[in-house]
Amino acid sequence: MTTMEPTIEGLRGLWSRSLIDWPDGRSDRETFVNWMQGPSFYLDLRQPTGRPDYRGVEHLRALKPADLGWLASQEGFAGELHYADGFFEWRREIDFQPQAVYSDQGRLWMEPDKMVEEGKDIPYIEHWHREPVGLDPVCALRLDDSATGARAYLMRLGSLFMYARARSAAVPAGLHLQDCVASAASLSEAQDLLDCEISQGVVSGADWIIQRSSLPFRETRRLDPVWAGRRSGTMVLSDISPEGKPLARHWQVLDAQGSLDAFPVAEDIRSAL
């Protein structure tokens, strides 16, 4: 069977995972996994089965102790994809879980019905499938909140988008988030450990609607990014505070890939840009 190694440019698109096999014999075909790849920035969201019913939970502070376990079992990350010496490396600037001991590196090759990934440090096998989505327009942004030092990534790919925002709370490396949440000194501290948003959704006209998120109370809400000053590199996103109040997050664009026209400009400053 002929196989071919992809390029970073050739990986642009939305990928879903159908299988992961680990060296110890475990496998998983059920976890929801979507990976959105841009020119080099990427975002990834992984949610296991067995999700509880979060209806009625409208904001971070409404999460009860019984709500936290499944949320802490999620995975997701964002950063930049690199390639060197036969291995792709997904460098994680944002990670829903605490920093792992091993780097995220693997070999990729194309087969007729899938793309296969084989891990470098841990020889897992993953099967990936490209979703039939539009690739234009594409724009990926690396964002910074100068007031808090938080980082975020935002990508639009055709009519889809993904967004990742780092938590403010520090988490120790090498542990699982479930352990960190279980040992938190208070409920609010445990909630803060979960306050890392990785969301995906759809662009419909002027509306950017979140369809799936690591924070369930963000689903069905609007992200609606808008340039508040493209010359100054200022982007505003709609959010809610931990207590559920409307919040406009102002981000400084550190790096941009693709067409900046993929994001709307605020009408009141359009003529000045």
Using CA atoms of 12, 215, 226, 43 in order, give the dihedral in degrees to the nearest 10. -20
Q: How many Cβ atoms are within 10 Å of 1's Cβ, its own excluded?
A: 4
Query: Lowest-confidence range among 68-77, 97-106, 259-268?
Result: 259-268
User: Who has greater pLDDT, 99 or 62?
Assistant: 62
Q: SS3 for 63? A: coil
Is the model's pLDDT at 273 over the cut of 80? no
**CA–CA separation, 111 vs 98, rounded Å?**
33
CA 233 to each of CA 93, 158, 212: distance values in angstroms, whole numbers, following the listed order = 20, 22, 27
Residue 227: pLDDT band (50, 70, 90) is very high
Query: Lowest-confidence range among 86-90, 99-103, 113-117, 185-189?
Result: 99-103
Residue partners of 10: CB distance under 8 A and separation at least 6? none
**CA–CA separation, 232 vs 139, rounded Å?**
17
Residue 263: predicted pLDDT = 94
CA 173 to each of CA 150, 179, 192: distance values in angstroms, whole numbers, following the listed order = 18, 12, 16
pTM of the model: 0.95
Is the model's pLDDT at 270 over the cut of 50? no
CA angle 162–198–180, rounded 5-degree value: 165
Is the model's pLDDT at 124 over the cut of 60? yes
Residue 114: predicted pLDDT = 97
**CA–CA separation, 230 vs 267, rounded Å?**
12
Domains defined for the chain, CATH in brackets? 9-272 (2.40.128.280)
**CA–CA separation, 17 vs 33, rounded Å?**
5
Residue 28: predicted pLDDT = 98
Percent of the chain whose predicted confidence (pLDDT) is above 70:
97
From 266, 16, 233, select the one nearest 117 (Cα to Cα): 16
**CA–CA separation, 213 vs 41, rounded Å?**
19
Q: SS3 for 122? A: coil
Mean pLDDT of all residues in 210-233: 93
Residue 101: predicted pLDDT = 80
Residue 271: pLDDT band (50, 70, 90) is very low
Place of tokens 């959704």: 201
Query: Lowest-confidence range among 35-44, 62-71, 195-204, 262-271?
Result: 262-271
Residue 147: pLDDT band (50, 70, 90) is confident
Residue 1: pLDDT band (50, 70, 90) is very low
Residue 230: pLDDT band (50, 70, 90) is confident
Is the model's pLDDT at 145 over the cut of 50? yes
Residue 259: pLDDT band (50, 70, 90) is very high
Mean of pLDDT over the chain: 94
Is the model's pLDDT at 34 over the cut of 50? yes
**CA–CA separation, 52 vs 67, rounded Å?**
7
Q: What is the pLDDT of residues 168-198, one digit of tens each?
A: 999 988 899 999 999 999 999 999 999 999 9
**CA–CA separation, 88 vs 33, rounded Å?**
18
From 49, 67, 50, select the one nearest 58 (Cα to Cα): 67
